[in-house]
């Protein structure tokens, strides 16, 4: 438009404004890849250009763990992916790893991703845990279970000393991520019953590189009446706060054993993160059904 005022003024064209959505898809993808899977899904709703960038392999490759091909190799591209140049495959791989745990190490462990962050989750089956065997093969019964993700679970038949340990290399955990360990368990059917799991003298610990970073008093089967019957004191009389289990949607119960901070994981280097559950009292116990121990990111 022409400038006002004195003569000699030159015509100045009004510039056009470049919007963020006008940037090349590769530029948008580079920025979105610096966010999180949750943010990428939200940004896909902003505009068609944002959606194209947010669903591209350039973004979802950053959200997948570096070793994801060893967990879930890329499937053959579907016709829709071929038509778009094969650039929309890795979001499907990511979501597949979130929706269904994948057996690894010949089925000795399961791995999946936490959907909002992409951090790896692990489930160590009972076979991979350290269980007490003071009574040999008569301490535990290995049996299939209709609710289990694994071929068999461990059912406690009878013991007096009960301590369960699970360990995972710190290097396997997603960097810069705090984790929590969980014991996933149930109890025997009513016909067999359980005993010795309701007293407030149970303890959990989590250690990293040999140093205890979390310790808690817990009770797998809180039952004040049983605790008073056998020990003369209910859970409230334990003297310390006692953690109780949470019921899961898959039919199992879980007890949080403790948490390890991101810097504690990093400090463990090439050593293990170890989680344990122990009953401190020496008295008969039975009826505990152990499915696995899980290590999951704290969200």
Distance of CA 244 to the CA centre of its chain: 20
pLDDT tens digits for 195-204?
888 887 899 9
Q: What is the mean pLDDT of residues 22-32?
A: 86
pLDDT in the model for residue 256: 98
DSSP-based three-state secondary structure for 208: strand
Q: Using CB atoms within 10 A of its CB, is residue 58 exposed (0-12), middle (13-18) or buried (19+)?
A: middle
Q: What is the mean pLDDT of residues 264-273?
A: 88
Q: 9 or 20: whose pLDDT is higher?
A: 20
Left if phi > 0, otherwise alpha if psi is -120 to 50, otherwise beta: which for 112? beta
Position 106 confidence tier, pLDDT thresholds 50, 70, 90: confident
d(CA 244, CA 263): 27
d(CA 125, CA 291): 6
Q: Cα separations (Å) of 15 from 1, 211, 266?
A: 11, 63, 51
d(CA 216, CA 218): 6
DSSP-based three-state secondary structure for 110: strand
Q: What is the mean pLDDT of residues 276-296?
A: 93
pLDDT tens digits for 216-262?
999 999 877 766 666 555 555 556 788 999 999 999 999 999 999 99
d(CA 153, CA 296): 20
pLDDT in the model for residue 75: 57
Domains of the chain: 19-96 (1.20.1280), 104-295 (2.60.120.260)
pLDDT in the model for residue 231: 58
Distance of CA 178 to the CA centre of its chain: 10
What tokens were used for 89?
């495959």
Most confident of 6-10, 85-89, 121-125: 121-125
Q: Across the strands, what pairs with 292?
A: 125, 184
Position 1 confidence tier, pLDDT thresholds 50, 70, 90: very low
Pick from 74-88, 90-104, 134-148, 256-270: least confident: 74-88
């Amino acid at each position: 438009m022409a400038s006002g005022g004195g003569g000699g003024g030159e015509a100045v064209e009004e510039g056009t404004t470049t919007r963020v959505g006008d940037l090349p898809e590769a530029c948008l993808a580079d920025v979105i890849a610096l966010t999180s899977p949750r943010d990428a899904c939200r940004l896909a709703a902003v505009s068609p250009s944002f959606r194209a960038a947010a669903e591209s392999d350039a973004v979802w490759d950053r959200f997948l763990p570096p070793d994801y091909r060893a967990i879930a190799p890329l499937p053959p591209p579907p016709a829709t992916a071929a038509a778009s140049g094969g650039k929309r495959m890795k979001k499907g791989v990511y979501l597949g790893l979130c929706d269904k745990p994948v057996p690894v190490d010949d089925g000795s462990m399961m791995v999946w991703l936490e959907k909002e962050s992409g951090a790896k989750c692990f489930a160590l089956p009972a076979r991979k845990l350290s269980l007490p065997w003071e009574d040999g093969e008569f301490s535990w019964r290995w049996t299939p279970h209709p609710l289990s993700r694994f071929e068999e679970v461990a059912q406690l038949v009878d013991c007096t000393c009960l301590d369960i340990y699970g360990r995972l290399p710190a290097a396997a955990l997603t960097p810069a991520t705090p984790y929590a360990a969980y014991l996933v368990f149930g109890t025997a059917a009513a016909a067999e019953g359980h005993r010795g799991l309701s007293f407030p003298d149970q303890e959990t610990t989590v250690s990293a590189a040999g140093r205890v970073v979390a310790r808690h008093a817990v009770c797998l089967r809180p039952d004040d009446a049983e605790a008073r019957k056998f020990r003369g004191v209910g859970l409230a009389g334990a003297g310390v706060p006692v953690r109780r289990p949470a019921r899961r949607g898959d039919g199992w119960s879980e007890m949080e054993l403790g948490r390890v901070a991101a810097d504690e994981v990093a400090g463990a280097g090439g050593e293990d993160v170890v989680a344990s559950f122990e009953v401190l009292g020496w008295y008969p116990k039975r009826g505990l059904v152990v499915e696995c121990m899980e290590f999951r990111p704290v969200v």
